[in-house]
């Protein structure tokens, strides 16, 4: 049952061959069994999960089985879920119970999905290895001595180990696509403004976007159908019609032109990663796609620009954690300023502090123009590069990460080295485009490699159709890490 697709699970549930409660118990048992090995979850509440499953069974009994009714979904622990602890992987929010539902949680609840638990993540989504979590690192089921990627590492690890049939994540600089690549799972970051950020703990507001992680493109489409849509409570959520993602899956790749950015296939890309990516592109050609070389001349500036804009927005967003209205407060302090400073020194981990300080600096008097405005100007140049590339192609393909998963602790002490690894995912966030990663083979150490597919604005349906066509012809996405089948 844990290897079944969402469509198969739906069929079983609707036909009452299994109940939502049985399904929830199956996955809760797997979570419990593998949690000590993977640490993929921060909060599990079996009673609350089973109560939702019972409600789903009632709904199914009344003949109202929607595609996700009774399906367990694990949420990254930055989506507020009423009554559930929502920690964002931080000591600052370690005991915070969300008093309301995020739009995404609300949408899944409306479909009758069952909340399976809250998944581990890098603290405030700042990290690429899931090692900055206050609740300890997550492990990659393909090799538990390696990282699962981050920041949605808990969700990715849970999908890879088949602890959950579906999960959510957020992607500010690659936090869905890079862990999907490292764990051999599928993850999609939608166009900026496609999924409401309401109730999603904010990191960098002009870059953050929620999206699904799952075993296949087909499952991603079903999940995106539930998540996407207009929400007036997010002022940057766009009011435009949603495509029928699941309905458009059969579109295929025949006749599509796939752009290959010259700047993505350089010495920065490890050979063991390049080989499966190039093989996947050949497979797409056999399925009827054409390829064309495109150029993203400002590619080398993406990481520097991101590490101005994201920390700047983070320093502003995280100013709210001051020990007054919610979250951690220092036990002892001299005065108000001391209370703020001690609360924040104790509540935030090292990476979050670094980013807040960089953000504070680049926004401070005398430096704003040289750093923040300059970064925003180059951001436009980066977005223009993509507009020009998409004049020549329908989709862009390349790697999601420059290497396979690395050993736990390998990059922990060198923030800049870790930042540089985001070179293939960050540009998409800066431009506001949709992107996804799907498994396409294995590299060094038998660890998964992800193919990144980037679409033009609002073109998620076409990306999903291409990925689905690839997955109809290949079986990488069906492989389960040894010991977790």
Partner 1 sequence: MLSRDQVLRIARLARIEVADSEAAALERELNGILDLIGRMSAVDTQGVEPMSHPEDAAQRLREDRVSVEDQREAFQAAAPQVEDGLYLVPKVIE
Indicate which residues carry an active-site annotation: 76, 151, 175
User: Please, are residues 296 and 378 in contact by the beta-carbon 8 Å criterion?
Assistant: no
Residue (236 or 478) nearer to partner 1, CB: 236
Strand partners, 260: 293
DSSP run (H or E) holding 439: strand 435-442
345 lies in the binding site for partner 1 (CB under 8 A): yes
DSSP for 278-321? HHHHHHHHHTT-EEEEE--TTGGGHHHHHHHHHHHHHHHHGGG-
206 lies in the binding site for partner 1 (CB under 8 A): yes
User: Please, are residues 24 and 114 in contact by the beta-carbon 8 Å criterion?
Assistant: yes
Candidate ranges 28-36, 112-120, 145-153, 355-363; the one touching partner 1 (CB under 8 A): 355-363
Residue (36 or 232) nearer to partner 1, CB: 232
110 lies in the binding site for partner 1 (CB under 8 A): no
Q: Pick one of 315, 317, 425, 456: the residue that binds partner 1 (CB under 8 A).
A: 315
Residue (278 or 363) nearer to partner 1, CB: 363
Q: Pick one of 304, 412, 445, 474: the residue that binds partner 1 (CB under 8 A).
A: 304
Q: Pick one of 432, 439, 441, 455: the residue that binds partner 1 (CB under 8 A).
A: 432
Candidate ranges 32-40, 160-168, 326-334, 393-401; the one touching partner 1 (CB under 8 A): 326-334
The two three-digit tokens of residue 321, written as one number: 């954690």
- Provide the CB-side half-sphere exposure for 451 (13 A, CA): 32
463 lies in the binding site for partner 1 (CB under 8 A): no
Nearest partner of 434 among 120, 140, 221, 285, judged by Cα: 221
Q: Pick one of 136, 377, 483, 485: the residue that binds partner 1 (CB under 8 A).
A: 377
3-class DSSP assignment, residue 403: coil
Alpha helices of 129-191 — where are they, by DSSP H? 153-160, 177-183
Alpha helices of 121-205 — where are they, by DSSP H? 153-160, 177-183
Residue (76 or 344) nearer to partner 1, CB: 344
DSSP secondary structure letter of residue 202: P
Residue (147 or 430) nearer to partner 1, CB: 430
94 lies in the binding site for partner 1 (CB under 8 A): no
329 lies in the binding site for partner 1 (CB under 8 A): yes
43 lies in the binding site for partner 1 (CB under 8 A): no
List, in order, residues 6 or more apart from 234 with CB less than 8 Å away. 103, 196, 197, 198
Q: Where are the strands (E) in 257-412, listed by range?
A: 257-261, 290-294, 395-399
Q: Pick one of 127, 165, 211, 415: the residue that binds partner 1 (CB under 8 A).
A: 415
Residue (10 or 379) nearer to partner 1, CB: 379
Q: Interface with partner 1 by CB under 8 A: which residues?
A: 96-97, 99-100, 191-193, 206, 232, 235-236, 238-239, 300-301, 303-305, 307-308, 315, 322-329, 333, 335-342, 344-345, 348, 353-354, 356-358, 360-362, 364, 370-371, 373-381, 383, 415-416, 419-420, 431-433, 457
């Amino acid at each position: 049952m844990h290897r079944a697709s969402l469509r198969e699970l739906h069929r079983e549930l609707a036909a009452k061959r299994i109940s939502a409660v049985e399904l929830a118990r199956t996955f809760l048992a797997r979570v419990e069994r593998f949690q000590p090995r993977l640490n993929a979850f921060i909060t599990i509440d079996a009673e609350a999960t089973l109560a939702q499953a019972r409600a789903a069974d009632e709904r199914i009994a009344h003949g109202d089985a929607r595609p996700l009714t009774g399906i367990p979904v694990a949420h990254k622990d930055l989506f507020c879920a009423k009554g559930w602890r929502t920690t964002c992987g931080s000591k600052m929010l370690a005991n915070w119970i969300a008093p309301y539902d995020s739009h995404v949680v609300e949408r899944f609840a409306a479909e009758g999905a069952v909340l399976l638990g809250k998944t581990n993540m890098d603290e405030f989504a700042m990290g690429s290895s899931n090692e900055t979590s206050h609740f300890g690192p997550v492990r990659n089921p393909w090799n538990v001595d390696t990282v699962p990627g981050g920041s949605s590492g808990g969700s990715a690890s849970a999908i890879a180990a088949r602890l959950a049939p579906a999960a959510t994540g957020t992607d500010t600089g690659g936090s869905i696509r890079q862990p999907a690549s490292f764990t051999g799972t599928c993850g999609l970051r939608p166009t900026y403004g496609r999924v409401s950020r309401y109730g999603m703990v904010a990191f960098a507001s002009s870059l953050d976007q929620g999206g699904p992680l799952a075993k296949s493109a087909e499952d991603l489409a079903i999940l995106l159908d539930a998540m996407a849509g207009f929400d007036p409570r997010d002022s940057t959520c766009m009011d435009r019609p949603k495509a029928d993602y699941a309905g458009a899956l059969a579109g295929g790749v025949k006749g599509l032109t796939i752009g290959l950015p010259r700047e993505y296939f350089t010495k920065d890309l490890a050979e063991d990663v390049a080989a499966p990516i190039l093989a996947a592109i050949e497979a797409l050609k056999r399925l009827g796609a054409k390829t064309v070389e495109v150029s993203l001349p400002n590619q080398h500036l993406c990481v520097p620009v991101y590490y101005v804009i994201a920390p700047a927005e983070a320093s502003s967003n995280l100013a709210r954690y001051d020990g007054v209205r919610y979250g951690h407060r220092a036990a002892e302090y001299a005065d108000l300023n001391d209370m703020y400073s001690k609360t924040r020194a104790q509540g935030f981990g090292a990476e979050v502090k670094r980013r807040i300080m960089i953000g504070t600096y680049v926004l401070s008097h005398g430096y704003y123009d040289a750093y923040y405005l300059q970064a925003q100007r180059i951001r436009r140049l980066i977005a223009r590069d993509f507009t020009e590339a998409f004049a020549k192609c329908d989709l862009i393909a390349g790697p999601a990460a420059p290497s396979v998963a690395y050993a736990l602790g390998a990059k922990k002490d060198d923030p800049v080295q870790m930042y540089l690894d985001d070179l293939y995912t960050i540009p998409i966030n800066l431009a506001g485009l949709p992107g996804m990663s799907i498994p396409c083979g294995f590299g060094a150490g038998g660890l998964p490699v992800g193919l990144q597919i980037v679409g033009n604005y609002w073109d998620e349906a076409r990306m999903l159709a291409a990925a689905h066509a690839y997955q109809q012809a290949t079986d990488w996405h069906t492989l389960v890490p040894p010991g977790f089948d």
